[in-house]
Chain A
């Protein structure tokens, strides 16, 4: 229910996990893009003021370009996202995780006209709040998705713990759970870590016991599973 991961399978048979960006980051990104455009428009208006009629004409053409071409050009360009989206580490991809195609970028940005209704992107906001994958109408029609750029997970660092061989054989699921616990260890409080480790105490032959020594040995087993012997 709460998880919003979208799975996309590649031709190589692996499943890529896409994390759709919610309303908040998309709103901030939009706000930043809007400010950037506003600054450009004002700066251009000042320059155009000196140039008279021709300046006015170029200003109007610039207004058109910023309104319609700004998102398309940035999405298809090397950056892969508008500066606003880049700043909040989100980007537009196709439903299957591929880079957005020119036709899709064109369609999703033209359909802003519909998303904008009745005012201030009202329909887009409602659509994004209602949908698990947080798409606005333009995304729906163009089959695109706005996703978070993946962030690297912290490495498991248990250098101070000496490896302990488990006292019994462990299923792959158990092993994964232990390693995941070890990875989370630095982010947990001591008491909570002891509590969690007590549940897994069987692996080091400490059933029914808890405390920092037990925790140390359980983490030692994780260390051993990671391959440090």
Chain B
């Protein structure tokens, strides 16, 4: 062979290793179920896949170093990319994973971000209490928040004559569907608003806090307090807490962008998002619970108020102590 020529020509190279590539391709087809191949056989041959994958990586490196033709590089690139996906795939589903999330991940992550949580709670509750008190003193101010018809419909919903509390005539299931979309929408806005340097989260927390406070203050002043508070007491344990949690996650993201510290802004953002995703996932779960309670429990007008307040107290204590104490030993 003349000097300067590669010792193994592309065709020879292909001939030498084609069998291995075909075998790997076949195994990947089984694993990815791209073709109708019998399942199960592939599970046993995991080791073989890993071996063939490493070989294919070597072949690709060789082929690149020797500048083999594009189709050959391309074939090896696709093969290694597919195998790479299969080998490094993370399976994060299953009951055990969910149990671990509820027992450890969620509450531990919440406590690790306690600072943001207190800030979000303050941003949400303080405007709520202030505006609520203001409405209680001067109920005519409600007209600067909502129009007269809406104010009247609020009163109607919580009046003694209402068949089911807190709504017009629809059934429990319909309201469940409505509450899910509505409440999760608010919580996700509080979270996603964090991407705008946290200003979106700030706004939505204060805005929703003030709005809820306004309605509460107004209805209390108008003498519907007894029914209103019995209605909201239970599900608010989950709903308001979930909104505060989402807002806290949003504030964390905003903070990571404004003050990235020693990381680049991008690294800081990615890090913060990864850190606070469990909080938002947990909050989404709490909102589902809240929607179910709001639709089926809170609205039941035949339940004595004492029972509702008792259950509400239990829920609040439960939620707070879950977030405070669950998973401490594990962490």
* Chain A interface (Cβ < 8 Å from any Cβ of B): 10, 12-14, 16-17, 53-54, 56-61, 63-64, 67-68, 76, 78, 93, 97-99, 101-104, 106-107, 110-114, 137, 140-143, 150, 152-156, 165-166, 169-173, 175-176, 179-180, 182-183, 225-228
Contact = CB atoms under 8 A, between A and B. Distances in A.
B188 A113 contact: yes
Interface of B: 2-6, 9-13, 33, 53-54, 57, 60-61, 66-71, 74-75, 77-78, 80-81, 84-85, 88-90, 92-93, 170-171, 173-174, 176-178, 180-181, 184, 188-189, 191-193, 195-196, 200, 253, 266, 269-270, 273-274, 277-278, 280-281
A141 B171 contact: no
Contacts of A152: 71, 74-75, 78
18 contacts: A12-B57, A14-B57, A14-B61, A57-B171, A57-B174, A57-B177, A60-B176, A61-B180, A67-B181, A97-B81, A101-B92, A106-B281, A141-B253, A152-B74, A154-B71, A165-B2, A179-B68, A227-B9
Contacts of B193: 113-114
B10 A64 contact: no
Given A107-B273, A114-B196, A173-B67, A53 B5 contact: no
Contacts of A141: 195, 253, 269-270, 273
A228 B11 contact: yes
A58 B200 CA distance: 32
Which of B2, B11, B69, B253 lies at the interface centre, i.e. has the most chain A CB atoms within 10 A of its CB? B69
B145 to A, nearest CB: 23
B192 A113 contact: yes
B11 A114 contact: no
Closest 3 pairs between A and B when the two form their complex, measured CB to CB: A60-B177, A169-B4, A227-B9
A226 B273 contact: no
Contacts of A166: 2
Interface SS majority for chain B: helix
A67 B185 CA distance: 10
A67 B150 CA distance: 27
Contact of A227 (B12, B75, B184, B273): B12
Contacts of A183: 69-71
A16 B192 contact: no
A60 B71 contact: no
Which of B11, B33, B89, B196 lies at the interface centre, i.e. has the most chain A CB atoms within 10 A of its CB? B11
A94 to B, nearest CB: 9
Contacts of A17: 77
Contacts of B81: 16, 97, 150
A182 B61 CA distance: 22
B283 to A, nearest CB: 10
A180 B177 contact: no
B177 A226 contact: no
A153 B84 CA distance: 20
Contacts of A175: 5-6, 67
B188 A103 contact: no
Contacts of B191: 110-111, 113
A132 B164 CA distance: 55
A186 B142 CA distance: 76
